[in-house]
């Protein structure tokens, strides 16, 4: 016997409004395995959006602990976390559970480069919420090689961008990198032991751009998981909050890009 409808039952369903979007596949969203690399400003907002959108299985990778400068754009961090030097991954996992108690976040406090390549194969979708080129190149290349869509976000001040790399045919993040990026990457790769001999400078950041970029990233993930590749960003989504403009920029697949060699 079917359970009788009761007054207010629709309002009890946290995903009721999402169910009204016909093409969203909430079953696939709930079962998808998401790897989120980076648990800073973008990571906080992406994790929040993922959890509220119905994603349950979220692996969070970041090696850092929380500091005071994180607090003005990181929803899940607190001053107590700063005092305790809480690991970012633990705070984000805690935050995911606070908005989605039946979620299954997995925090991993490591550099993504230290993890086995199988971590990319074990997930269905990869998010790059990163602020350094080395980790971005690594995540992009391994996601592409594993055949997984890689959604990369970046920002500086009021400017942000989002790119979706879709193997095996689409351009990847490294296809759009220039010589300046390569020089920085080479300097980062020139470290020995545990000591890094080069540090990228801190970039300007503020919460409204973080919110916009993270929203676009998760929006594209909903399309990927729901099988709506026809709706995806085909190149790079560029956002300029100072000029009040957004546009899509073309990135062509670079046949000399090392990610595509022998693919």
Q: Which fold has domain 23-260?
A: Rossmann fold (3.40.50)
Higher pLDDT, 123 or 235: 123
**What is the per-residue pLDDT for 116?**
97
Range in 32-46, 90-104, 228-242 with the lowest mean pLDDT: 228-242
pLDDT value at residue 176: 82
Reported pTM: 0.87
Confidence of residue 6 (pLDDT cuts 50, 70, 90): low
Q: What percent of the chain has pLDDT over 90?
A: 74
Residues 206-222 have pLDDT tens digits of 999 999 999 999 999 99
Average pLDDT, the chain: 88
Mean pLDDT of the region 122-127: 98
- pLDDT for 88-111, tens place per residue? 999 999 999 999 999 999 999 999
pLDDT digits (tens, 9 = 90+) for 177-215: 854 444 444 444 433 334 444 445 677 889 999 999 999
pLDDT of residue 191: 36
SS (H, E, C) the chain: CCCCCCCCCHHHCCCHHHHCCCCCCHHHHHHCEEEEECCCHHHHHHHHHHHHHCCCEEEEECCCECCHHHCCCCCCCCHHHHHHCCEHHHHHHHHHHHHCCCCCCEEECCCHHHCCCHHHHCCCEEEECCCCHHHHHHHHHHHHHCCCEEEEEEEEECEEEEEEECCCCCCCHHHHCCHHHHHHHHHHHCCECCECCCCCCCCCECHHHHHHHHHHHHHHHHHHHCCCHHHCCCCEEEEECCCCEEEEECCCCCCCCHHHCCC
pLDDT band at 11 (very low <50, low <70, confident <90, very high): confident
| pLDDT in the model for residue 7 | 52
Which pLDDT belongs to residue 108?
A: 98
Q: Where are the domains of the chain?
A: 23-260
Task: Determine the average pLDDT of the residues in 49-70.
Answer: 97
């Amino acid at each position: 016997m079917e359970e009788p409808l009761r007054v207010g039952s629709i309002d009890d369903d946290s995903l009721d409004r999402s169910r009204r979007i016909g093409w969203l596949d909430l079953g696939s969203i709930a079962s998808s395995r998401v790897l989120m690399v980076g648990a800073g400003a973008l990571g906080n907002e992406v994790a929040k959006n993922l959890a509220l959108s119905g994603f349950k299985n979220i692996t969070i990778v970041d090696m850092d602990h929380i500091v005071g400068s994180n607090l003005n754009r990181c929803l899940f961090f607190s001053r107590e976390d700063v005092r305790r030097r809480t690991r970012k991954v633990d705070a984000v996992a805690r935050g995911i559970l606070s908005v989605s108690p039946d979620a299954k976040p997995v925090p991993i406090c490591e550099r993504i480069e230290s993890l086995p390549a199988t971590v990319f194969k074990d997930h269905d979708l990869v998010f790059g919420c990163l602020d350094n080129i080395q980790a971005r190149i690594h995540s992009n290349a391994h996601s592409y090689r594993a055949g997984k869509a890689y959604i990369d976000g970046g920002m500086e001040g009021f400017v942000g961008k989002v790119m979706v790399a879709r193997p095996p045919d689409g351009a990847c993040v490294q296809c759009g990198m220039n010589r300046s990026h390569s020089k920085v990457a080479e300097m980062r790769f020139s470290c020995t032991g545990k000591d890094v001999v080069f540090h990228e400078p801190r970039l300007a950041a503020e919460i409204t751009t973080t919110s916009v970029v993270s929203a676009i990233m998760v929006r594209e993930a909903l399309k990927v998981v729901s099988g709506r590749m026809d709706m995806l960003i085909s190149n790079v989504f560029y956002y300029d909050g100072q000029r009040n403009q957004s546009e899509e920029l073309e990135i062509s697949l670079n046949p000399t890009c090392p990610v595509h060699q022998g693919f």
